[in-house]
Homo-oligomer: A and B are copies of this chain.
Amino acid sequence: MVIAIDMMGGDFAPLEAVKGVHQFLLQETSSANLALIGDQSILAQLISDNNIPPGRFSIIHSDEIIGMHEHPTKALKEKQRSSIAIGFHLLSSGKADAFISAGNTGAMLVGTLFSIKALEGVLRPTISSVIPRENGGTGILLDVGLNADCKPEQLNQFAVMGSVYAQLMLGIDRPKVGLVNVGEEEGKGNILAQAAYPLLKENKHINFIGNIEGRDILMDKADVMVCDGFAGNILLKFAESLYEISAREQVKNEYFERFDFEIYGGTPILGVAKPVVIGHGISKARAFKNMILVAQKMLETDVLGKMKEELQ
């Protein structure tokens, strides 16, 4: 198992990426090998500075970087030697099994959609986010931004992909699926939600429990929470801001501390053939380590293969 990592992506790269790799290698007894993509000499120096023993990783040299604000498609096309472009090349050629980056999100999405294929039958890949629940568990919200406008059939597929993810990655048996909506009763909502409800209700691959409202997101009413990427993205970023606020306000509370995105590492793209995990631009060592763990678990559980089966 080879996990490729863009060591140059993110506001605190490459130092925090190197530290994250170190943390992963220190605590893990897994057999995963890491392909560290970035400037050979800078990485070698940082690896030496941090006393990371050799073995289980290799450096893949890259002398270009796609900046956080560059146009994704244009940058990917023009910067073939960038760490992101090389990562996708490794992935599509089979030299890596998964790819991780905290760099330009748009470039990661475009790269994923063009370099590795969507799973057979998937209308559109999706991105999800783990949501901490007050009862101590976690749920999954999707889509959180890849698909701002959705069709009902897409929401139905998100429900399947989210259920497989919740089962294999979060260890939730028969995950409850809720449609994020403005009211509880069937028939409520915008045109999209109204049309998605009957599809979800009839879907035998999922355990649909009906509509959930905004106030249910942090409760354990549903494990898999399905919505379009517009509402989902706004909700996710709102939730993320809670952690920053509670930190600034010096709220010492275990639950609010679980809103720290670094715990969850990054956002995997679901519905594609191979694991791609996108990190926050502000990822530090712990986030990098956890992204590697997410990618590793996705490979170990074959979560994407299971999605393909369920969507047949």
Binding site for B on A (CB under 8 A): 134, 145, 148-149, 180-182, 189-191, 193, 213-219, 227-231, 233-242, 244-246, 248-249, 251, 253, 255-256
For the complex, give the distance between the alpha carbons of A134 and B248 in Å: 10
**Chain B residues with CB under 8 A of A248:** 134
Q: In whole Å, how far is A196's beta carbon from the nearest beta carbon of chain B?
A: 12
For the complex, give the distance between the alpha carbons of A252 and B293 in Å: 35
**Chain B residues with CB under 8 A of A233:** 182, 213-214
Each complex incorporates copies of this chain amounting to 2
**Chain B residues with CB under 8 A of A219:** 241
A218-B190 in contact (CB<8A): no
Could you jot down 27 A-B contacts, CB within 8 Å? A145-B182, A148-B189, A148-B191, A148-B193, A182-B229, A190-B228, A213-B234, A213-B237, A214-B233, A214-B234, A214-B235, A215-B238, A215-B241, A215-B244, A217-B234, A217-B238, A231-B234, A234-B235, A238-B239, A242-B242, A245-B255, A246-B251, A246-B253, A249-B256, A251-B251, A251-B253, A251-B256
A182-B234 in contact (CB<8A): yes
Name A190's contact: one of B134, B148, B189, B249 (CB within 8 Å). B148
The chain B residue with its CB closest to the CB of A234 is B214
Q: In whole Å, how far is A232's beta carbon from the nearest beta carbon of chain B?
A: 9
For the complex, give the distance between the alpha carbons of A234 and B182 in Å: 6
Name A218's contact: one of B193, B216, B238 (CB within 8 Å). B238
The chain B residue with its CB closest to the CB of A150 is B190
For the complex, give the distance between the alpha carbons of A229 and B183 in Å: 12
B230-A215 in contact (CB<8A): no
**Chain B residues with CB under 8 A of A246:** 251, 253
For the complex, give the distance between the alpha carbons of A239 and B241 in Å: 12
Q: In whole Å, how far is A247's beta carbon from the nearest beta carbon of chain B?
A: 12
B256-A190 in contact (CB<8A): no
**Chain B residues with CB under 8 A of A244:** 215
**Chain B residues with CB under 8 A of A253:** 246, 249, 251
Q: In whole Å, how far is A35's beta carbon from the nearest beta carbon of chain B?
A: 31
**Chain B residues with CB under 8 A of A256:** 249, 251
A230-B193 in contact (CB<8A): yes
**Chain B residues with CB under 8 A of A134:** 245, 248-249
